[in-house]
Amino acid sequence: AAGVIQSPRHLIKEKRETATLKCYPIPRHDTVYWYQQGPGQDPQFLISFYEKMQSDKGSIPDRFSAQQFSDYHSELNMSSLELGDSALYFCASSGRRGQKAYEQYFGPGTRLTVT
Amino acid sequence: AQTVTQSQPEMSVQEAETVTLSCTYDTSENNYYLFWYKQPPSRQMILVIRQEAYKQQNATENRFSVNFQKAAKSFSLKISDSQLGDTAMYFCAFYAGNMLTFGGGTRLMVKP
């Protein structure tokens, strides 16, 4: 079965640079979530989208923005990168809200290293 | 806001034995879902088992089962016949609204 696809899998950036992470949800999933997992930490919710509209917002820095496109893929844009942004970034997707929307399936993650 | 607490940072078990991982949560919600996710060294987040709060029956998935005590807000995971491949970080997670809240994780080591 098709899973959530994230690209790139690894990314190395320098401080103050910009990064864009992409997420392709499972086909027919319309909700996308972004999570950040720092070293030795649990995943923290950043932001979610449902039907191309922002749905919920967590602990996402103002330097980050995200959107969901007409084909339901999502991009997380990160600017003015800081060393503390080094983390594993997960994207997850789920089906139609109210119908097993609670079942989130995670992608393999993008490991971002800021030097 | 919801909080999820896993009080065991690390645990170990001998292969083929049984181990129980603890999780407690705090919420004012009445409708919610609880999950256990496994994160092996590959860092992939793998859904192990889910429990709907409105269901009294404990969920089971092969060697994995939960003990859900709603009044006590407790949600423990039992792994039977532990296998070397069960070695991983295990996260308890709470879902309500539209987001998952994770506990701090329990690192499980299965020893041969």
Residue A98 pLDDT: 56
Name the CATH architecture for the domain at B3-111. Answer: Sandwich (2.60)
List, for residues A16-31, the tens digit of each pLDDT value: 999 999 999 999 898 9
Query: Shortest Cα distance from B15 to chain A (angstroms)?
Result: 25
**Residue pair A96/A108 in contact by the 8 Å Cβ criterion:** no
**Residue pair A42/B104 in contact by the 8 Å Cβ criterion:** yes
Sequence spans of domains, chain A: 5-109
Most B CBs within 10 Å, among A10, A35, A42, to test the B interface? A42
Looking at chain B, which residue has its C-alpha nearest residue A36? B102
* A106/B103 CB distance under 8 A: no
Residue B98 pLDDT: 77
Residue B112 pLDDT: 95
* Three-state secondary structure string covering B2-31: CEEECCCCEEEEECCCCEEECCEEECCCCC
Residue A96 pLDDT: 65
Decide if pLDDT at B87 tops 80: yes
Of A55, A97, A104, the CB nearest to B100: A104
Sequence spans of domains, chain B: 3-111
Contacts of B105 in chain A (CB under 8 A): 42
Q: How many helices (H) and strands (E) does chain B have?
A: 0, 12
Of B33, B45, B98, the CB nearest to A55: B98
The number of C-beta contacts closer than 8 angstroms across A and B is 54
Q: What is the dihedral of CA A13, A69, A110, A82, to 10 degrees?
A: 40
* A106/B45 CB distance under 8 A: yes
CATH superfamily, domain at A5-109: Immunoglobulins (2.60.40.10)
Decide if pLDDT at A97 tops 80: no
Task: Find, among B28, B15, B20, the residue nearest to B112 by Cα.
Answer: B15
